[in-house]
């Protein structure tokens, strides 16, 4: 198939699966991690106040302090808000903590020696355990060259889990993996560590402008990012030297390339290499890392986005989002406005024009024209979960620069209906696609024979639920999400405890613990979906001073035992499929409701999928999907709550041929469902 000039290798292979494609000396270590933390006044992870990055500058040590001097034009923008480190936030009982615990159990079930098998083999060392299957070793996945990506994801997820829970088993395993990678690096002798079956041949072919298999730079990005996070989040001092040597290798390998040749290489998917190299620049102060980060910016995407032009039709969705995360990261470092314009325009376009009701987007992993949504409704390959993962990372970055409730509203919707919904509550395994096809099911990966991209990002998703509930500035604490949790604001010596059963109940209670009275502003999100919020401080109702889609600001002297009570009444509403006003989805507050359509053709384990390419080709049986005999302006009047069952509704007298029960999409598993309903 002819290549798109904007994305030259983004084509489908013979079985219809969309390939994931796109287009010397030692780095000066600079300040050590502990030096950075000391300068910034942040304690170590072991002391309980470590850093918890997920790819966003506001989380990692260098982000909270002055950047290294640079002769480049432009001034880094000031961040208005910063997230709290995961070590400062503790989840309390509720669905997010349960998901975190399931994820932790699955992560600890994985054998690090099996994940390390190909790394040791490439280095000429004897493997200690057999390799895992799926994307890590077996046909028909060999040609995508993702071997080793799961190990990188595990390092990031393990670091996040360690910061979130303090469970020493994660830190011990991180130390073991990093030591093994260091041994592989020594055996290689070049700084490279990789798990590809052909060693570094694929990477060298890519750099030489020769035809090459798969997405090697995408996979290498996961290893770079895992080492970065092992160092900054989990406190592994040994990870930084391994990362620096790996960066030296990348510099030396790519230095001879012309800019034109480099851009041609970027036609193939390369993950967030620009972002992670920018991070390494901040860590080490080495200007070459920033130069390489800039070279890894795909101008075919950057230039139109910076001009406010949407180039996304037909492009592989999750190839683009990590690039944009990198654009925003470079804007944060350099102040070059084109990077920031590109990131903001991309977010506005994807969230405002290209997303389904759950916050996901795309079909067969690709963006499609915005006027063709109805044609994609019946696909089983919409809303790749990795895309939602990366959109949330971008959203956090943008919120830090501009703490708008619109960013938090989207984050909440996608978190419930894309991320929490992606995990099998019985196993902790994750989805790849989340279909819009009426009457289809969620499909989950196997424990050892899949290892999709969404398996890896899924490990991370449920390890970091605490990373966006709260943000802070010098004198302000933002509450973005209503999730049972506590946060320790060390600079103010305030602990805020949030207790709630939201969204099953509409009340949230905050309690304050302080050693002595302290002045601060508490800014609580007034969700865009809420009509009539109510706020009380110590039992007395207060003027909100805000409306839906804004923040309610409480600026006061806080005393020990102060309490804030919030009521967020939810209501049922519909949202039309873009371009199809006669197809609507139901929401209650931020929660997308799915219609339950039974278990025809299902049996235990039927929805566990080894090969993601067969999504939509299995479990196909005729399923009757009711239509609703009501107009868009009246349909919610014919839907009522089911007594005694929170967040459960039923249509009344409008279903054709029968009425239907509606429950939260995030709670629906192992049964058939429907999201968008035809109105008669």
Question: What angle (nearest 5°) sits at the alpha carbon of residue 321, between those of residues 424 and 377?
Answer: 60
Asked whether residue 47 carries a pLDDT value surpassing 50, the answer given is no
- Confidence band for 70, pLDDT divided at 50, 70 and 90: very low
* Per-residue model confidence as pLDDT tens digits over 98-154: 999 999 999 999 999 999 999 999 999 999 999 999 999 987 788 889 999 999 999
Residue 586, classed as helix, strand or coil, is strand
- When computed from its CA atoms, the radius of gyration of the chain, rounded to whole angstroms, is 24
Least confident range from 11-15, 226-230, 288-292: namely 11-15
Asked whether residue 1 carries a pLDDT value surpassing 70, the answer given is no
Q: Count of alpha carbons within 13 Å of 554, Cβ hemisphere only?
A: 24
* Per-residue model confidence as pLDDT tens digits over 218-258: 999 999 999 999 999 999 999 999 999 999 999 999 999 99
- Confidence band for 77, pLDDT divided at 50, 70 and 90: confident
Asked whether residue 463 carries a pLDDT value surpassing 80, the answer given is yes
Task: Tell me phi and psi for residue 596, to 5 degrees.
Answer: -85, 125
Asked whether residue 38 carries a pLDDT value surpassing 90, the answer given is no
- Confidence band for 73, pLDDT divided at 50, 70 and 90: low
In the predicted model, what is the mean pLDDT of the chain?
90
**What is the model's pLDDT at position 407?**
98
Identify whether the C-beta of residue 137 lies closer than 8 Å to the C-beta of residue 448: no
Rounded CA-CA distance 16/19 in Å is 9
* Per-residue model confidence as pLDDT tens digits over 342-376: 999 999 999 999 999 999 999 999 999 999 999 99
Cis amide leading into 503 (omega within 30): yes
User: What is the pTM for the complete model shown?
Assistant: 0.90
Identify whether the C-beta of residue 616 lies closer than 8 Å to the C-beta of residue 380: yes
* Per-residue model confidence as pLDDT tens digits over 319-339: 999 999 999 999 999 999 999
Which residue from 477, 485, 504 is spatially nearest to 590, judged by alpha carbons?
A: 504
Asked whether residue 166 carries a pLDDT value surpassing 70, the answer given is yes
User: For the chain, give me the number of helices (H) and strands (E)?
Assistant: 19, 24
Residue 467, classed as helix, strand or coil, is helix
Least confident range from 93-102, 133-142, 410-419, 429-438: namely 133-142
Asked whether residue 17 carries a pLDDT value surpassing 70, the answer given is no
Identify whether the C-beta of residue 521 lies closer than 8 Å to the C-beta of residue 475: yes
Mean per-residue pLDDT, 466-487: 98
Rounded CA-CA distance 365/363 in Å is 5
| Cβ-count burial 193-202 (b if 16+ within 10 Å, e if not) | bbbbebbbeb
Which residue from 317, 359, 345 is spatially nearest to 575, judged by alpha carbons?
A: 359
* Per-residue model confidence as pLDDT tens digits over 80-106: 999 999 999 999 999 999 999 999 999
């Amino acid at each position: 198939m002819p290549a798109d000039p904007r994305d030259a290798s983004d084509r489908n292979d013979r079985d219809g699966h969309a390939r994931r494609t796109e287009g010397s000396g030692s780095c000066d270590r600079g300040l050590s991690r502990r030096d950075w933390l000391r300068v910034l006044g942040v304690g170590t992870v072991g002391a309980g106040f470590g850093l918890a990055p997920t790819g966003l500058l506001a989380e990692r040590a260098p982000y909270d302090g002055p950047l290294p001097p640079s002769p480049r034009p432009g001034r880094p923008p000031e961040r208005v808000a910063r997230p709290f480190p995961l070590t400062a936030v503790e989840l309390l009982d509720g669905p997010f903590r349960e998901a975190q615990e399931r994820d932790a159990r699955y992560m600890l079930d994985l054998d690090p020696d099996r994940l390390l098998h190909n790394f040791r083999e490439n280095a000429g060392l004897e493997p200690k355990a057999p390799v895992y299957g799926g994307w890590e070793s077996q046909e028909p996945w060999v040609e995508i060259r993702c071997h080793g990506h799961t190990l990188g994801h595990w390092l990031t997820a393990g670091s996040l889990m360690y910061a979130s829970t303090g469970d020493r088993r994660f830190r011990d395993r991180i130390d073991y993996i990093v030591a093994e990678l260091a041994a592989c690096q020594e055996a290689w002798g070049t700084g490279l560590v990789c798990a590809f079956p052909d060693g570094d041949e694929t990477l060298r072919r890519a750099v030489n402008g020769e035809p090459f298999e798969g997405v090697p730079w995408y996979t290498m990005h996961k290893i770079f990012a895992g080492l970065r996070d092992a160092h900054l989040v989990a406190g592994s001092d040994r990870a930084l030297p391994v990362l620096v040597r790996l960066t030296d290798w990348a510099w030396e390998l790519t230095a001879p390339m012309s800019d034109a040749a480099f851009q041609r290489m970027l036609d193939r998917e390369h993950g967030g290499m620009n972002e992670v190299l920018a991070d390494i620049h901040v860590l080490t102060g080495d200007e070459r890392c920033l130069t390489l980060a800039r070279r890894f910016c795909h101008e075919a995407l950057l230039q139109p986005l910076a001009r406010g032009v949407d180039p996304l039709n037909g492009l592989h969705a999750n190839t683009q989002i990590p690039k944009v995360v990198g654009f925003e990261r470079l804007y944060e470092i350099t102040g070059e406005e084109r990077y920031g314009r590109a990131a903001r325009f991309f977010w506005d376009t994807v969230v405002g024009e290209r997303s389904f009701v759950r916050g996901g987007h795309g079909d067969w992993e690709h963006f499609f024209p915005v006027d063709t949504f109805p044609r994609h409704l019946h696909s089983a390959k919409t809303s790749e979960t990795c895309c939602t993962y990366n959109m949330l990372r971008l959203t956090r970055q943008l919120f830090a620069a501009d703490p708008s409730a619109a960013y938090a509203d989207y984050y909440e919707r996608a978190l419930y209906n894309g991320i929490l919904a992606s995990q099998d509550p019985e196993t902790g395994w994750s989805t790849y696609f989340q279909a819009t096809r009426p009457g289809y099911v969620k499909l989950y990966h196997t424990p050892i024979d899949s290892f999709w991209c969404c398996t890896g990002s899924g490990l991370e998703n449920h390890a970091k639920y605490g990373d966006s509930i709260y943000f802070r500035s010098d004198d302000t604490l933002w509450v973005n999400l209503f999730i049972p949790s506590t946060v320790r604001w060390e600079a103010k010596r305030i602990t805020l405890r949030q207790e709630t059963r939201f969204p099953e109940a509409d009340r949230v209670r905050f309690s304050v613990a302080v050693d002595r009275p302290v002045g601060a502003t508490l800014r609580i999100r007034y969700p865009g979906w809420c009509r009539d919020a109510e706020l009380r401080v110590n039992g007395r109702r207060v003027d909100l001073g805000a409306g839906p889609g804004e923040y309610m600001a409480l600026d006061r002297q806080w005393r020990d035992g102060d309490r804030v009570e919030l009521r967020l009444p939810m209501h049922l509403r519909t949202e039309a499929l873009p371009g199809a006003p006669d197809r609507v989805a139901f929401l209650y507050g931020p929660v997308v409701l799915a219609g339950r359509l039974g278990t025809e053709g299902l049996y235990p384990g039927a929805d566990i999928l080894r090969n993601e390419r067969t999504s939509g080709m299995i479990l196909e049986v005729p399923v009757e999907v009711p239509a609703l005999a009501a107009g868009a302006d009246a349909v919610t009047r014919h839907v009522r709550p089911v007594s005694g069952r929170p967040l459960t509704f039923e249509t009344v007298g409008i279903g054709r041929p029968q009425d239907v029960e509606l429950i939260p999409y995030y709670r629906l598993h192992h049964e058939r469902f429907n999201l968008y309903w035809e109105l008669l």
